[in-house]
Structure 1
Amino acid sequence: MSGSIFPEATPDPETWWRGAAIYQVYLRSFADGNGDGIGDLAGLRARLPYLADLGIGAIWLNPWYPSPMADGGYDVADYRDIEPSFGTLAEAEAFIAEAHALGIKTITDIVPNHGSDRQEWFLRALEAGPGSPERELFIFRAGRGTDGELPPNDWQSIFGGPAWTRVADGEWYLHLFAPEQPDFNWADPRVVEEFHDVLRFWFDRGVDGIRIDSAALLVKEMDGGGGPEAYTDLDGVHDIYRGWRQVAEQYDDRILIGEVWLPDQERFALYLRPDEMHTAFNFDFLACAWEPGALRRSIDLTLATHLPLGAPPTWVLSNHDVTRPVTRYGRPDTSFDHADRKHGMPTDPVLGERRARAAALLAMALPGGLYVYQGEELGLPEVEDIPAELRQDPIWFRSGHTDLGRDGCRVPLPWSGDEPPFGFGAGRPWLPQPPEWKALTAEVQAGDPSSMLTLYRNGLRLRRELLGDGTLTWLDAPQEVLAFRRDSGLVCVVNLGTEPVPLPEHESVLLASGPLEDGTLPGDTAVWLRTT
């Protein structure tokens, strides 16, 4: 920043990930380059200048592999190729190179807990029959009951319904998610080596990081109880990731990022030991209600977990599985829980946007890495009125149409124009866009100095110059206010109350999430200050 009195935060290129702003691309919904209504690599490549202007340092892509799309690509049929509706392997390699030329890293999603029921390994397992080496790659078991007509145990799928499906010869296979997603048997060394080779395949093509889906679920205790404790966060999973880290260490500057949903922060911390993952998602902060005490506790707990290990915390407000912030923060209950997405709960969109803007500046100001989910920078709301016949999330079907699932945060982005498809592509998008999104397009917001997009651009620019990795120091503040100073001297103040509060002494205002009032900070507003 020209004329800044602050020392700039210049990240060590060997540890770029410690303070990076990472943009999550859900490829099906980002940009459609060939007009078939599905986002693809051609669309993403065309929009790389937009992402460079936004100010992000890396792109994380949800699975882009060949898939029947029973679960939006998380049912992978081939880990070494690209889904044809997205493009080709050559296009993926071109994208990685083009992103690197713009100074943007690439992070891909690996799904190690399960594959697709159309994957070659699984098809061979079905053909080979009980007791075969092919079936040992998955978790096949005989059933209970007189004729094996009952599942091997009472485990339930995370998507609802039984976690077991019976095949024609009478055996059952485990799927913690949809039946189209059979779980791998990580006790078999062939599975271990297969994924080591998959990591090498993508690292050899220039991928900078791997996001590990459902990272805590790989090891199962089949004789355990009927609940998640029999397959969540068992000790054996750490041996798996020590092996992955050894593969990553064979390359320069490659990282592992875990999707680890655990309430126990001590257990969570084990994944961040120096010989395992470089970092992991911070879901405690994401799920936290818009309350000063709860947020302060979440921030403190996160820092206390990460700093002793030398691992950077990460901060995220939303992703492809989570209700969008503008909707969530406008509800009476602003917390998030996968078990209760609060679909249909009334929301105040004006209040929700106001709080989402403040939350964005809070998250950007915290030390460590930042994740931005596509459309978050546009202030897109959750779309909850998608017609039943157009919904595609397996949660919708597995719940007997009682849980609307995650389609509402996956609606294709609006880029330009006054009506759908809003510049997403030439064809009809795979999920319908609300007509009122014409006021939220990137084109409209780019020219509006008060828009959410402008706020994100300004915030990410200042963050790159002044924030990122480091520490924070809490400052004295009223009960409804969070205030802290960063290493560069920047002070972030967030008023989560309803009444304005006086601003602390400062030299100038660097950025505010909303208008300030005569030297005071209004409720549900955040500000970054330059102090003397």
Structure 2
Amino acid sequence: MAETVAGTAASSSTPWWLHAVCYQVYVRSFADSDGDGVGDLPGITSRLPYLRDLGVDALWITPFYVSPQKDAGYDVSDYCDVDPLFGALADADALLERAHELGLRVIVDLVPNHTSSEHPWFVDALAAGPGSPERDRYLFRPGRIGADGVEGPPNNWISRFEGPAWTRVPTDPERPDGPGEWYLHLFDTSQPDLNWHNPDVPAMFDGVLRFWLDRGVDGIRIDVAHGLFKADGLPDQTLAPGESADPGESLITQRPSHTPMWNQPEVHEVYRGWHKLLDSYPGERMAIAEAWVRDPGDIADFVRPDELQQAFNFHWLAAPFSASAFRGVIEQTLAAVPAPTWVLGNHDVVRAVTRYGGGPVGVERWRATFLTMLALPGSAYLYQGAELGLPQVDVPPELRQDPRANVPGRGGRDGCRVPIPWSGAAPPYGFGPGDGQPWLPQPSSWAELSVEAQTGDDSSTLEFVRRALAVRHDLLSELAGVEPELHVSGTEDELVIRRGPLVCHLNTGSEPIAAEHRDRLLAGATVLLCSGSDPKARPGDANTATWLHRP
């Protein structure tokens, strides 16, 4: 089995994940080795030198397990094998071995809230019928009769994809002529929620964790980490005035007390057990929670000393491009969360370049926000293609594959999942050996955004990211243990972060700072980096962040 890599980075006394830059690989869209238009594990392995040279410390790979692919692999039918679409178990072992040779850590995705409806457990549950031990592994319930005398779902919970969070089984073995029970699915109908009160469930996932840790993975990303347990009795959701039952794109704005399906206290006992399991392995293994919760204090609950090592900070991702908004997130996060993380994008949200206005302005704002993020203590997560300045793609409706694509008002998540361009002047831009479009079509305008086109161009976003990560790495020893000081400087559009010898100045305004203000900022300082893509960009320009070194 693959061995984990030795400790690297800032200090041998600090775990690697405290300061790591982690690169998210969306397996379907990173690199295709066999020409079928879908990314795979051998494709990732072939591109690992690119990640090493980019300057990241780890990669997080989205699910590659056996799956019907109703939700791009987040509907798992076998957690301990590789889906043939992505390769074989031997390919996972080869990827781990090569990554560790290159000094890269590997984080894999775990999906413990639900399985696929094609998982053997759920198939058995349907066959076994009401009241059976097999059904107790999931959340089956009889319907309830409404005021109109018609049987409906057991409660008023809404799926994150569309409609009620309950689907009725057409018939049950004991009542072939009558209506069946309902099963809970907080996501797609093909993703039935597990019953974590049943001891079979935690036992199964302990085995899954050991299977991948034994193979050498360095970390686990926990999908829907706040959703494993539901409130006793599965009560109706009580809504605050003006609050919708539809959780929409984000759960950040929803209070945990109003959501009996999210953030129940029992989840923390599970993670205490996983903490002990991870600690039983050598090499500083870690786990990070995907937990959409209301405020940083809720994030902190997941990263107590005896629980998980990290949790994603989606508040940074959700903030508008605003110095005051960023300052608020930084202050709240650092006050509440040990081992903070900073996230600007992932496979579920609109790409940041587009969120920040699109076009050249969107790119400039992303670069400035990314550089600001790197100045903060903690680890940073970079979504594939962000280093190229990729925008969101408007995938034609008839080609969309996300199960949420047809939900009114959503539009799906395909636009941030389009395969990244590596080389060449036309699709598939070196994504794979084939000639046609990959599983999601790439825009004809992406030739200038490819890795090949941007490499060696000092003004490109790719080379900017490489420089930023290299400078950050060189500064880690000076910044170790130094907490940042936040200052307002000049106008409300400015944020200054001082962290030991590093000063980060961010201007989110539409105008450059005044000349005399710029002179004061630069006095006695060395300019390390400026996020502007124009060779003439200066510290304090609009939509620009600058790193200064001031002993």
TM-score when scaled to structure 2? 0.88
List per-residue Cα deviations over 1:171-198 (Å, max 9, x = no partner): 1110000000000000001101111111
Aligned counterpart, 2:429: 422
Task: Give unmatched runs, 5+ long, in structure 1.
Answer: 1-7, 331-347
Instruction: Choose which of 482, 485, 500 in structure 1 pairs with 2:495.
Output: 482
What is the rounded CA distance, in whole Å, between the counterparts of 1:9 and 1:478 in structure 2? Answer: 35
Aligned counterpart, 1:299: 330
What is the rounded CA distance, in whole Å, between the counterparts of 1:116 and 1:349 in structure 2? Answer: 39
Correspondence 1:233 to 2:263: yes
- Number of aligned residue pairs: give it: 500
- Contact (CA 8 Å) 2:75, 2:114: kept in 1 or not? yes
Matches within 5 A, 1:18-417: 18-145=18-145, 149-167=151-169, 168-169=171-172, 170-221=180-231, 222-226=233-237, 229-252=259-282, 253-306=284-337, 311-330=338-357, 348-384=358-394, 386-397=395-406, 399-400=407-408, 402-417=409-424
- Contact (CA 8 Å) 2:9, 2:16: kept in 1 or not? no
Aligned counterpart, 1:459: 468
Q: Which range moves more in the overlay, 221-230 or 280-289?
A: 221-230
Aligned counterpart, 2:5: none
User: Residues 518 and 425 from structure 1, CA distance in 2 versus in 1: closer, same or farther, beyond 3 angstroms?
Assistant: closer
Query: Identity across aligned pairs (percent)?
Result: 51
- Contact (CA 8 Å) 1:516, 1:522: kept in 2 or not? no
List per-residue Cα deviations over 1:409-463 (Å, max 9, x = no partner): 0000100000000000133300000000011000000021110000000001111
Q: Equivalent residue of 1:79, what SS?
A: strand
- Contact (CA 8 Å) 1:510, 1:529: kept in 2 or not? yes
Q: Equivalent residue of 2:66, what SS?
A: coil
Residue 265 of structure 1 deviates from its aligned partner by: 2.7
TM-score when scaled to structure 1? 0.91
Aligned counterpart, 1:334: none
Aligned counterpart, 1:531: 550
What is the rounded CA distance, in whole Å, between the counterparts of 1:112 and 1:493 in structure 2? Answer: 41
Q: Equivalent residue of 1:203, what SS?
A: helix
Aligned counterpart, 2:175: none
Residue 509 of structure 1 deviates from its aligned partner by: 1.4
Counterpart AA for 1:196: D
Residue 517 of structure 1 deviates from its aligned partner by: 6.2
User: Residues 94 and 14 from structure 1, CA distance in 2 versus in 1: closer, same or farther, beyond 3 angstroms?
Assistant: farther
Counterpart AA for 2:549: R
What is the rounded CA distance, in whole Å, between the counterparts of 2:329 and 2:182 in structure 1? Answer: 41
Aligned counterpart, 1:432: 441
What is the rounded CA distance, in whole Å, between the counterparts of 2:11 and 2:414 in structure 1? Answer: 36
- Contact (CA 8 Å) 2:155, 2:235: kept in 1 or not? no
List per-residue Cα deviations over 1:166-222 (Å, max 9, x = no partner): 112211110000000000000001101111111111110000000101111111123
What is the rounded CA distance, in whole Å, between the counterparts of 1:469 and 1:317 in structure 2? Answer: 23
User: Residues 469 and 21 from structure 1, CA distance in 2 versus in 1: closer, same or farther, beyond 3 angstroms?
Assistant: farther
The root-mean-square deviation of aligned C-alpha atoms, in Å, is 1.8
